[in-house]
Amino acid sequence: MFTHIVRRYDWFDHAASMGNDYLWRPRALWDLDRFRAREPPVERVLDIGCGTGDLTRLAARYFPTAKVVGADFTEAMLHIADARTRPEPTAPRVGYLRANARRLPVPTGSFDVVMSAFVARNLVDLAGAFREFRRVLRPRGTVLTLEITEPSSPLIGRLFHAYFDHVVPWLGAAVHSAGPYRYLPNSLRSLPPPEGMVRLMQEAGFPRVETHPQSMGIVTSYLAGAE
């Protein structure tokens, strides 16, 4: 499915979010920076489900001395991510690999930060993925998960679903991708609410978990610290 939409993926995300995704990722990194205020400097970052590498490249600029690895299951996404990274000054510090979020081909305790953006709702075994994120973290490492969430306000929730459940699939049909973009609203229904996400992270071995809503609760940054 993601191979099918790869050429339209970024354009569609920008259009469907009305440009807000340009703000959500930097704000999530800002929250991460403050969450880690007393932790060691970030030297190695892993971006799970990196897609075409938007967050990967942003992290490389945000952490100017860190090595950043983007991982994704879809090979076509990785080809685009690599091509877009090569012209950037950060390219020597950025690499990509094909990987399954539940079985990451990296050693235990390899990264200071493991992050993902709009990936959690696509993971069949979210609890297992969080345990794997914990495995590859160094002591005192941090997980950042940015994901779409149900707004707490009933009014905002109705507006959100009117748009996300009906307008987004219609936009997908307009670019001959109705199936994949019908899947995206449906995938949100399988995602636990924020309190459920916090509980899964705690059960995976993260004693400190915080939630940082953005855009009236339409998206949330989940930050989890390991001991």
Here the CATH number for the domain that contains residue 210 is 3.40.50.150
CB 84 within 8 A of CB 11: no
Q: What is the pLDDT of residues 88-143, one digit of tens each?
A: 999 999 999 999 999 999 999 999 999 999 999 888 899 999 999 999 999 999 99
Q: Flag whether 211 is in a domain.
A: yes
Q: What is the pLDDT of residue 186?
A: 66
Contacts of 93 (CB under 8 A, 6+ apart): 60, 65, 66, 67, 68
User: How far is Cα 85 from Cα 56, in angstroms, rounded to an integer?
Assistant: 9
Position 111 in a domain = yes
- DSSP letter at 5 equals T
pLDDT at 8: 61
How far is it, in rounded angstroms, from Cα 135 to Cα 107?
8
CA separation, residue 226 to residues 125, 126, 181 (Å): 20, 17, 35
Residue with the larger pLDDT of the pair 16 and 105: 105
| Side chain identity, residue 30 | W
Residue 158 has a pLDDT of 84
pLDDT over 80 (residue 4): no
**From the CB of residue 179, how many other CB atoms can be counted at a distance below 10 Å?**
13
Assigned domain for 34 exists: yes
Q: What confidence score (pLDDT) does residue 106 get? A: 96
At residue 34, does pLDDT exceed 70? yes
Six-digit token string for 219: 């998206």
Q: Which residue has the tokens 């306000």?
A: 153
- The model's pTM is 0.89
Using CA atoms, how far residue 98 sits from 29, 53, 90, 202, in Å, is 23, 13, 20, 27
Question: Taking every pair of C-alpha atoms in the chain, what is the biggest distance, in angstroms?
Answer: 48
Residue type, 207: P
- Does 181 map to a domain? no
pLDDT in tens, 194-227: 999 999 999 999 999 999 999 999 999 999 999 8
Range of the domain at 91: 15-153+192-225
Number of domains the chain contains? 1
**Average pLDDT in the 39-67 region?**
96
Burial pattern 1-40, b for ≥16 Cβ within 10 A else e, equals ebeebbebbbebbeebbeeebeebbebbbebbeebbeeee
Q: Is residue 57 part of a domain?
A: yes
Using 50, 70 and 90 to split pLDDT, how confident is the model at 11?
low
The contacts of residue 142 (CB under 8 Å, 6+ apart) are 32, 35, 36, 39, 112, 113, 114, 223, 224, 225, 226
pLDDT digits (tens, 9 = 90+) for 150-191: 888 888 888 877 777 767 666 666 555 545 555 566 667 778
Query: Is residue 36 domain-resident?
Result: yes
For residues 114 and 164, give the distance between their C-alpha atoms in angstroms, rounded to a whole number.
28
Asked, for residue 31, whether it belongs to a domain, the answer is yes
Q: Residue 211: which H helix or E strand, with range?
A: strand 208-214
- Residue 92 belongs to some domain of the structure: yes
